[in-house]
Amino acid sequence: MPLVASSYAAPLWLPGAHLQTIVPARFMRLPPVAYRRERWETPDGDFIDVDFALPQPVAAVAPVLVMFHGLEGDSQSHYARSTMRWFADRDWRGVVIHFRGCSGEANRLPRAYHSGDSEEGDWVLRKVHARWPEAPLYAVGISLGGNMLAKWAGERERDALFVTAAASIGSPLDLAAGGAALGRGFNLVYTRMFLVTLKSKALAKLQQFPDIARDGDYMRRLRSSRNLYEFDNEYTAPLHGFRNTEDYWDKASAKPWLRAVRIPYLVLNARNDPFVPALSLPQPQDVSPRVELEQPAQGGHIGFARGPWPGRIDFIAERLHRFFTQREPSLS
């Protein structure tokens, strides 16, 4: 399928990739969303927290939208609130899945979450489907969550067909390219922001599970990590069974799996996303006929603000709704 023309255009009052990233995430007015939280026990004795947007539809056949958030995100992230509000107002069941340790409470086990954790994603989606078996099930992954979801869809191929359609928004599907981009220039501002919470959680885990440390100098190296490459090399990769950062980023990247996707799938990336280099974005020859690629020139990283000042951030929700409602359950 060729690249589709995008209806997104950035407002004139919000120029440039960094403003288009930062202003929607930090300074724009967000819609109010109330949630009801459930704690789901995982098969390995841990837990994840799941937030349901209110009001929840009464009908068991109401469409369900499952969201997997981005790196260090949660149900209060700007994209989560705007999307959950949009779909709840249209009688969908909106569900935000918190990756382990991202709901405000540390998880029980040494492991955390990572970009390629498609086994956890599979467990979540099947649990939701089993709970509302007659409801159309849709899924969206934002940034890191979208890489995981796309990898899941490609790995499962026809076994993913219980999901009606899915989407990845602003996702670094080539993790090495995304990691390299975040390690230079102004992008280090974002990296340092992520590292504040990532290091804090990792150091807390070391206090709880001292055996994580590989040697006596481990804590110093972890504290001194300057970018995601170094942090992943010390913590994320070895903790989740990878040899090093290169091994992790290579095996966890979703881009090689896009040719195997069998469900209708939207991949939306702004070409000026500071987290995701335009040259790393998938092209039509990289994906299956079920994958729709949309790559507007602007939008920043999960920004996509639009409208006159002070603007609004409903493009992602509107685009998802349009993509999903044009699809019927896949039989191919």
Cα separation, 61 vs 105, in Å, equals 32
Residues 6+ apart with CB under 8 A from 214: 238
Tokens, residue 60 = 């068991």
Domain membership of residue 183 as a residue range: 175-251
- Write down the pLDDT at residue 331: 37
Do 150 and 184 fall within a single domain?
A: no
Average pLDDT taken over every residue of the chain: 95
pLDDT tens per residue across span 251-306? 999 999 999 999 999 999 999 999 999 999 999 999 999 999 999 999 999 999 99
- Write down the pLDDT at residue 216: 78
Report the CATH number at residue 258.
3.40.50.1820
Q: How far is CA 39 from the centre of its chain?
A: 20
Per mean pLDDT, which range of 92-96, 215-219, 321-325 is the poorest?
215-219
Mean pLDDT of all residues in 20-47:
97
Do 214 and 232 fall within a single domain?
A: yes
- Write down the pLDDT at residue 214: 83
Mean pLDDT of all residues in 28-57:
97
The answer to whether residue 29 scores a pLDDT higher than 80 is: yes
Do 240 and 315 fall within a single domain?
A: no
Do 190 and 124 fall within a single domain?
A: no
Domains of the chain: total: 2
Catalytic residues: 143, 273, 301
Do 161 and 299 fall within a single domain?
A: yes
- Residue listed under structure tokens 């929700």: 317
Comparing CA positions, the residue from 56, 37, 57 lying closest to residue 47 is 37
Q: Which amino acid is at 199?
A: K
Do 70 and 214 fall within a single domain?
A: no
Categorize the per-residue pLDDT at 329 as very low, low, confident or very high, splitting at 50, 70 and 90.
low
Mean pLDDT of all residues in 20-41:
97
pLDDT tens per residue across span 184-219? 999 999 999 999 999 999 999 999 999 988 887 898
Q: How far is CA 247 from the centre of its chain?
A: 21
Do 9 and 71 fall within a single domain?
A: yes
The answer to whether residue 62 scores a pLDDT higher than 70 is: yes
Do 185 and 61 fall within a single domain?
A: no
Do 66 and 137 fall within a single domain?
A: yes
Do 307 and 209 fall within a single domain?
A: no
The answer to whether residue 111 scores a pLDDT higher than 80 is: yes
- Write down the pLDDT at residue 328: 57
Cα separation, 266 vs 294, in Å, equals 7
Contact 163, 125 (CB under 8 A): yes
Do 133 and 162 fall within a single domain?
A: yes
Contact 280, 174 (CB under 8 A): yes
* Domain finish residue from 235, 251, 267: 251
The answer to whether residue 327 scores a pLDDT higher than 80 is: no
Q: 198: helix, coil or strand?
A: helix
- Write down the pLDDT at residue 1: 66
- Write down the pLDDT at residue 332: 37
* Domain finish residue from 230, 251, 272: 251
pLDDT > 70 fraction of the chain, expressed in percent and rounded: 98
* Domain finish residue from 195, 226, 251: 251
Do 27 and 77 fall within a single domain?
A: yes
Cα separation, 289 vs 274, in Å, equals 28
**137-142 vs 93-97, strand pairing mode:** unpaired
Q: 251: helix, coil or strand?
A: helix
Strands (DSSP E) found in the chain? 35-41, 47-53, 64-68, 93-97, 137-142, 165-169, 265-268, 291-294
